[in-house]
Each structure stands twice: as structure tokens, then as C-alpha cells.
């Protein structure tokens, strides 16, 4: 019996496990397993679910048996696995954790077979007939024709100003793909934007549209995942986590608002869904449309050097072009709740005329500083060394980094004085000011606190649509995609830091927000105004953006930067470290510089992150840079090897962030 058993052929598989080790493991099985199936294996005396990656040679060491093969067909096909391997390599992230990031929660556990959905029979020759309700404008028609004529597999940059009707153009291209029986993936930067986009598409494509994001229950997500795999549904709208949806016969990818920094995930696998989407399209040789009213400098540069094909839409659907921005110098002015007299008068007039106004301030809460007028005490979070923000609705001080909540002291804890002051303003304080001091009845606060629960955002948007006049006060949530008719005035506060920041991404981010938030206005009348309060009225960037012309701003920034070694002509990888001891971070990062003999053009730092301290830990980074991605990756590989020789590496946590956005 024993002899017979050893004669039986064994198959050896490389298996990935969801562990923080960048390694695969070899297990044996009596029969063949398709690559990409889940397998149950024993690892360090624990049962684990892994993925069988591929067949390999019999190793020299003893291997354990696969306990059970959990799938009849692969959950990741050959193309998916190729993208997963690429992701692991590009982001220096363990393969098992990459797979874990893109596996529906439902498949991470053992489920009785009955709960796993049976795949229905799909008619692969189904004829689709869609009714379009809108007639394309001539500019939309030109863009659509240009897109479908493109034969190369370069990414398509659809650069269409806000309100130019990009969604309708996507829809026409999507219809072509579906009629060819292909699947379509559409990414949006935020959950908040998915209802709007899905509703738009469902109106045309009916039950062929599914929405996939973290707000959908695990069970439902798994069902959608299966619908993608089987080809039962064709069109999938989703956020970052949807980028690897195993859509059958994927024929088109659309990335809406491609410039948006929310495409970058900032915990776990630090990937950019936009960049992964581009890679996915490249591997599959399928078209990808990157749409934006304010394309990233990176995309515009790629177009300039011929790596992307650019398609322009330079007119709005309703021909009222985006409003001009008037630069309002507030130097030396007395501000009232952050607002100048001019801003206040214009807001009042807009509301009195029965119109809608909007105030954009990128800060939630009531006031960002609570301090003593008698001594130098400021309320700060002990864990994060940052100011506590007053939240009037909660009657509490809140730390925006760790969400710790503190009671409001009635006396200064330092000198016992009762002269406590609130400085600065957030959305809540402006809301209160408009209601109390300006007696404005309809004030709509549009921030993450006001839209915590599912359905809140939709309800808020509905209330705004139903009311003809009033004021919307909101954070960067406002800059994204929403259409408010009758919006005649936008007042922009506090964006000056974008002009002075050292980060190579800050200027562009500021320009995106300014142009996007301005673009919400005047979609109907053409008389809309944008007031930008600033202390840098002569800053060349503002001078260029004043006309609302993002493209000329971008062109001049690109030509300025070409001669300096800076994004988008330069690439970055950051080594981030977190420790309870500040010196430990600095020592660790400094040793990387000396061990690797980095010359001063190759790195910046060690420097504190913008979130300098959080939950008791200091955060620092060393940024490695190069004009060549290949060189940068080679350097990073060598750094990772060197790190194992640095003793501090075992006393702190560190990670690699490829294409970081925080400086
Ligand atoms: P963008 O994303 O380019 O800023 P949207 O796709 O949100 O613009 O379109 C702006 C508005 O114009 C939407 O309300 C949309 O329904 C409408 N729209 C788009 N195309 C047309 C068209 N051809 N005719 C009439 N309305 C249109
Ligand atoms: Zn005091
Ligand atoms: Zn804190």
C-alpha cells in the first residue's frame, strides 16, 4: 500500500497566502488544479485559504498536501493573475496581500456550497438595443467620433471642461462595447459619486448596470463579482476596489475624474486605481478612456509626448461656458467669519434674488483652534500633537487624525482663566454665521459629518435640488461631479496653502479644486460669479487660473517644470516609517541614505509627513526620486535589501509607497 501510494503522480503548486511575507509556498496535490483556484492548506498548524498560482517542479524539501480545492473554476483567470503579479512587483507588496485586497470578503471564508451562487446560462449572442434620450451636441459628436476611430491601444485622455457632457459621450462608447458583447468597467473616485453615475447609466442601460464599492454588503459584492465573471451583466460602476473585478470579455475601461487623488489608496496596498486601470487595459490591449475637466499634469504630459491620445471638448452642453474667477485680495481686510464684506454682500444679494450660492472651505467642524487668550494653551490631541477641532453639534473637541473626542473645558487647564477663544472657521461655524448673522434660512452643509450614513448624501442633494435659493457650505466633497442648477455664486476660501506648499502635487490639486468647484456654477444662466478670497492676488498661478482656463494653466506649469527635476518629469518612491520615538525614524531613514550612498539628486528627507504624529506615533519619510521609473525601482530593490541590515528596521514599522502624493 505504502509503495503504491508513493508511485502515484504528485503535482506541486506555488500557493499564495494572505500574509505579510513576500513569498509563495509549495504544496502538493494528487491531481491537477487550475491556476487561480482557491485551495485550503495548512500553514504553521492553521488552516488557510490560498490561491494556487502555478505548477512547479518538485522541491528538494518536504511539502504538505493541499487539503481541499475550493473552486471548480479559477476565481482569478490568467489575465487577472498577470495583473496581480505586476501589482505585487510594482508596489513592492506581498503577492498574497495583493490578492487579498481584490478578493471579495465572501470568498475569504469557507462557505457551504449552497450559498455559492450557481452561474446561469448566458446568451452570448444577445442583441442589445439601447434608447438614448439626448441628442449629442456637435462637440460631443466630434469627441465620440474621434474616440471610436482611434485604432492604437494608447490610453485616451478625454479632456472636456466641466459641464461638457462627458458622461453622455462615455455612454455612447459603452453602448458600442456592450453591443459587441463586451464587458465595461467604469471607475469613479468616490462612493459619493457612484449613485449619480449609475442612475445616469441605468437610465440608458437598464439592468445591465451594477455598482460595486465598499458601501455594498459583502454578500451583494460577491454576487456582483459573480455576475462580472459570468458575463451576466455587462456594465460595472465602482470605486478603487472595483479595478480588478473579473469582468468577462472586458472590452473597455472608463476612469472618470482621472485627476482625482482619491484614486490612490492610502492604507494597506498603496495603489492607484487609475494607474492599475491603465495597466489592465494595456495588458488586455483594450481601450481606456481617462476623463476629466482638469486632467492631471501627468496625463497632459503623456499626451504631449504622444503616449496618450487626447480628445477635447471645449464647450459646455448648454453653451454657457464656465464662469470667470475674480481674484479678491483680502490683505489688510477685516473678515467676518472668514468672509470679506464683498463676499457677504454678494451672498446676500444672490439669495435675495432667489438664487443659490456656495461657499467652499476645505475644513469641517466649527473652528480649528480652541485656545486660551490669557496664556499660550491650545487644545491639542495627546496622541497626535495636532489642534483639536471644535464640533458644535457634538459639543465636543474632535481630533481629525485619530477621531478622539474630548469634553470642552470651561476654564483653561493651564492658567484657569475663563477667557477661552475659538479661532478660524470650518463648515459648521460658517453655517451658523449664515443662519444667525445673515438670517439665511436655507443653509446646506455638505461635508463628511453631514453625510455619515448611507442615504444622507442623496437626501441632501435632493433637498438642494428642491430649493431654489439658499447657500451650500461644503468641503472638497463639493468639487466632485455634482450638478446644481441655479447655482450663481461660488465663494472660495482658504486655498492659499496650495500656492505655497513644497509638495509637487499641491499646486495641481489646488487648481483642480478651484476649477472643479467653479465649474459647478452657471450651468444654466451664464451670469455666474466665482469669488476667490486670497492673500496672494498676484501669484502667477492664480493669474492664469483667473480665466477659468485650466489647460493654459497646465501648459505653463509643464513648461516651467520641464527644466526643473520635478513631477511629472520626475518619479518618486517614498519609504515611510512610523515609530513612537522620533529619533528612531530619523536614524533609520538616514542610514538608508548612507548605506546606499545616495547622492543629493536622488533623495529628499528624512522629512515629517503632513500627518506628523498620529495615535502616538511619529511619521517620517525618505523620498527617492529619478527621471527613470526603471532606475527608481532598481534603487528601491537595493534599498529593501539594505533595510534588513539596519537594526532600527526591527524597532519601527516601515513601508514603501510608490508614486506617493504626500510630501
Ligand atoms: P461633465 O461630466 O462633462 O462635467 P456631465 O456629463 O455631468 O458633464 O453633463 C452635464 C449636464 O448636461 C448633465 O446634466 C447632463 O445630463 C446634460 N447633458 C449631457 N449631454 C447632453 C445633451 N447632449 N443634451 C442635453 N443635455 C445633456
Ligand atoms: Zn490659559
Ligand atoms: Zn488624535
Three-state SS string over 203-224 comes to HHHHHHEEEECCCCCHHHHHHH
For 494, phi then psi, to 5°, come to 55, 50
| Best probe residue, ligand 1, of 159, 161, 167, 292 (max atoms within 8 Å of C-beta) | 167
Average pLDDT over all residues of the chain: 91
Tally of residues, the chain: 663
Torsion over CA: 565, 566, 572, 574 (sign): positive
Report the C-alpha gap between 491 and 483 in whole angstroms: 17
pLDDT of 383 > 90? The answer is no
For ligand 1, is residue 223 a contact (CB within 6 Å)?
Answer: no
Question: What angle do the packed helices 506-518 and 550-562 form, to 10 degrees?
Answer: 170
Q: Given pLDDT bands bounded at 50, 70 and 90, which one contains residue 528?
A: confident
d(CA 135, ligand 1 centre) in Å: 11
Query: DSSP assignment, residue 457?
Result: H
Tell me the percentage of the chain whose pLDDT exceeds 70: 96
Res. 493 pLDDT band, cuts 50 70 90: very high
User: Could you give the percent of the chain with pLDDT greater than 90?
Assistant: 71
Q: What are phi and psi of 183, to 5 degrees?
A: -90, 155
pLDDT of residue 206: 92
Number of H helices, E strands in the chain: 18, 28
CA-CA-CA-CA torsion sign (190, 193, 195, 199):
negative
Three-state secondary-structure class, residue 68: strand
Q: Which pLDDT tens digit goes with each residue over 605-627?
A: 899 988 888 888 999 999 999 99
Q: Which ligand is nearest to the CA of 380?
A: 3
Distance (Å) of CA 172 to CA 156, 176, 232, 595: 15, 7, 21, 55
Distance 389 CA to ligand 3 centre (A): 10
Distance of CA 509 to the CA centre of its chain: 13
* Average pLDDT over every residue of 623-648: 94
Calculate mean pLDDT across residues 43-53: 95
What confidence score (pLDDT) does residue 478 get?
A: 80
Residue 319 confidence (pLDDT) above 80: no
Whether residue 548 has its Cβ less than 6 Å from ligand 1: no
* Ligand 1 neighbourhood includes 162 CB (under 6 angstroms): yes
* 129 pLDDT tier (thresholds 50, 70, 90): confident
Q: What is the pLDDT of residue 115?
A: 56
- 254-273 pLDDT, tens digit per residue, is 999 999 999 999 999 999 99
Residue with the larger pLDDT of the pair 47 and 481? 47
Closest listed ligand to the CA of 385: 3
Q: Are the CB atoms for 538 and 331 separated by under 8 Å?
A: no
Average pLDDT on 192-196 reads 84
- Asked whether 485 lines ligand 1 (CB < 6 A), one says no
CA of 616 to the centre of ligand 3 (A): 8
pLDDT reading at 589 higher than 90: yes
Q: How far is CA 47 from CA 22, 41, 104, in A?
A: 19, 6, 19
The pLDDT value recorded for residue 458 is 83
Average pLDDT over residues 289-295: 96
Question: 159 or 193: which carries more pLDDT confidence?
Answer: 159
CA of 365 to the centre of ligand 2 (A): 23
- State the pLDDT at residue 323: 82
pLDDT confidence of 4, banded at 50, 70, 90? low
Q: Which of 602, 663, 651, 609 is nearest to 627 (CA)?
A: 602
Average pLDDT over residues 160-182: 95
Check the CA dihedral 564-570-575-577 and report its sign: positive
Reply yes or no on whether the pLDDT at 198 is more than 60: yes
Strand partners, 574: 623, 657
Confidence bin at 5 (pLDDT 50/70/90): low
Per-residue pLDDT, averaged over 34-47, amounts to: 94
Residue 168 Cβ inside 6 Å of ligand 1? The answer reads yes
Mean pLDDT of 585-614: 91
pLDDT at 124 over 80: no
Least confident of 70-74, 280-284, 533-537: 70-74
Answer yes or no: is the C-beta of 137 below 6 A from any ligand 1 atom: yes
In this structure, the residue with its CA closest to atom 17 of ligand 1 is 165
| pLDDT mean over 456-461 | 86
Q: Does the pLDDT at position 118 exceed 90?
A: no
Distance CA 397, CA 451 (A): 19
Ligand lying nearest the CA atom of residue 257: 1
At 657, the pLDDT band (50, 70, 90 cuts) reads very high
Which atom of ligand 1 lies at the shortest distance from residue 200's CA?
A: 16
Q: What is the mean pLDDT of residues 493-509?
A: 89
pLDDT at 329: 95
Is residue 37 predicted with pLDDT exceeding 90? Answer: yes
Q: How far is the CA of 380 from the centre of ligand 2 (A)?
A: 13
Of 12-16, 153-157, 314-318, give the lowest mean pLDDT range.
314-318
pLDDT tops 60 at residue 3: no
407-428 tens-digit pLDDT: 899 999 999 999 999 999 999 9
Amino acid at each position: 500500500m505504502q509503495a503504491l501510494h508513493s508511485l502515484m503522480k504528485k503535482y506541486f503548486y506555488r500557493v499564495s497566502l494572505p500574509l505579510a511575507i513576500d513569498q509563495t509556498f509549495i504544496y502538493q496535490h494528487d491531481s491537477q488544479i487550475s491556476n487561480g483556484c482557491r485551495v485550503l492548506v495548512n500553514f504553521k498548524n492553521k488552516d488557510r485559504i490560498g490561491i494556487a498560482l502555478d505548477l512547479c517542479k518538485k522541491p528538494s524539501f518536504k511539502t504538505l498536501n493541499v487539503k481541499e480545492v475550493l473552486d471548480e473554476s479559477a476565481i482569478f483567470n490568467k489575465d487577472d493573475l498577470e495583473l496581480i503579479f505586476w501589482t505585487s512587483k510594482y508596489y513592492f507588496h506581498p503577492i498574497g496581500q495583493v490578492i487579498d485586497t481584490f478578493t471579495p470578503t465572501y470568498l475569504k471564508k469557507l462557505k457551504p456550497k449552497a450559498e455559492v451562487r450557481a452561474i446561469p446560462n448566458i446568451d452570448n449572442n444577445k442583441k442589445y438595443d439601447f434608447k438614448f434620450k439626448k441628442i449629442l451636441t456637435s462637440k460631443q459628436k466630434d469627441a465620440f467620433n474621434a474616440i471610436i476611430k482611434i485604432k492604437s491601444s494608447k490610453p485616451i485622455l478625454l479632456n472636456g471642461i466641466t459641464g461638457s457632457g462627458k458622461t453622455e459621450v462615455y455612454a455612447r462608447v459603452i453602448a458600442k462595447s456592450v453591443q459587441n458583447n463586451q464587458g465595461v468597467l467604469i471607475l469613479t473616485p468616490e462612493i459619493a459619486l457612484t449613485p449619480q453615475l449609475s442612475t445616469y447609466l441605468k437610465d440608458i442601460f437598464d439592468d445591465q448596470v451594477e455598482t460595486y464599492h465598499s458601501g455594498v454588503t459583502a454578500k451583494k459584492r460577491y454576487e456582483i463579482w459573480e455576475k462580472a465573471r459570468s458575463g451576466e451583466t455587462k456594465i460595472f460602476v465602482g470605486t478603487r476596489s472595483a479595478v480588478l473585478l473579473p469582468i468577462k470579455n472586458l472590452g473597455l475601461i472608463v476612469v472618470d475624474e482621472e485627476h482625482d487623488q482619491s484614486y490612490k489608496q492610502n492604507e494597506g496596498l498603496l495603489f492607484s486605481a487609475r494607474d492599475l486601470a491603465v495597466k489592465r487595459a494595456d495588458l488586455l490591449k483594450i481601450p481606456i478612456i481617462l476623463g476629466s475637466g482638469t486632467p492631471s499634469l501627468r496625463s497632459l504630459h503623456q499626451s504631449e509626448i504622444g503616449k496618450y491620445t487626447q480628445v477635447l471638448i471645449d464647450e459646455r452642453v448648454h453653451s454657457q461656458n464656465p464662469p470667470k474667477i475674480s481674484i479678491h485680495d483680502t490683505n489688510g481686510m477685516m473678515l467676518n467669519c472668514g468672509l470679506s464684506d464683498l463676499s457677504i454682500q454678494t451672498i446676500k444679494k444672490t439669495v435675495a434674488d432667489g438664487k443659490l450660492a456656495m461657499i467652499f472651505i476645505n475644513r469641517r467642524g466649527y473652528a480649528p483652534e480652541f485656545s486660551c487668550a490669557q496664556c499660550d494653551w491650545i487644545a491639542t490631541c495627546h496622541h497626535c500633537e495636532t489642534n483639536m477641532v471644535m464640533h458644535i453639534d457634538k459639543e465636543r473637541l474632535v481630533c481629525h487624525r485619530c477621531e478622539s473626542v474630548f469634553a470642552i473645558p470651561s476654564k483653561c487647564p493651564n492658567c484657569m482663566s475663563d477667557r477661552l477663544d475659538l479661532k478660524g472657521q470650518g463648515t459648521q461655524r460658517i453655517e451658523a454665521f449664515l443662519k444667525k448673522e445673515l438670517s439665511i434660512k436655507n443653509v446646506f452643509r455638505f461635508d463628511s459629518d453631514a453625510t455619515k450614513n448611507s442615504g444622507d448624501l442623496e437626501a441632501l442633494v435632493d433637498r438642494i435640488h428642491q430649493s431654489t435659493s439658499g447657500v451650500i457650505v461644503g468641503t472638497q466633497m463639493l468639487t466632485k461631479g455634482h450638478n446644481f442648477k441655479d447655482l450663481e455664486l461660488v465663494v472660495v476660501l482658504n486655498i492659499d496653502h496650495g500656492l505655497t506648499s513644497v509638495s509637487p502635487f499641491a499646486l495641481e490639486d489646488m487648481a483642480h479644486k478651484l476649477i472643479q468647484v467653479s465649474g459647478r456654477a452657471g450651468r444654466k444662466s451664464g451670469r455666474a460669479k466665482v469669488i476667490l478670497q486670497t492673500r496672494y492676488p498676484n501669484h502667477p498661478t492664480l493669474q492664469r487660473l483667473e480665466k477659468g482656463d485650466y489647460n493654459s494653466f497646465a501648459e505653463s506649469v509643464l513648461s516651467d517644470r520641464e527644466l526643473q527635476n520635478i513631477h511629472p518629469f520626475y518619479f518618486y518612491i517614498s519609504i515611510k516609517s512610523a515609530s513612537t520615538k522620533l529619533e528612531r525614524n530619523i536614524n533609520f531613514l538616514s542610514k538608508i541614505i548612507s548605506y546606499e550612498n545616495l547622492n543629493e539628486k536622488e533623495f529628499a528627507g528624512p522629512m515629517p509627513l503632513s500627518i506628523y504624529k498620529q495615535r502616538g506615533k511619529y511619521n517620517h519619510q525618505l523620498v527617492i526620486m529619478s527621471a527613470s521609473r526603471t532606475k527608481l525601482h532598481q534603487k528601491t530593490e537595493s534599498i529593501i535589501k539594505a533595510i534588513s541590515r539596519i537594526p532600527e528596521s526591527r524597532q519601527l514599522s516601515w513601508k514603501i509607497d510608490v508614486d506617493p502624493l504626500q510630501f
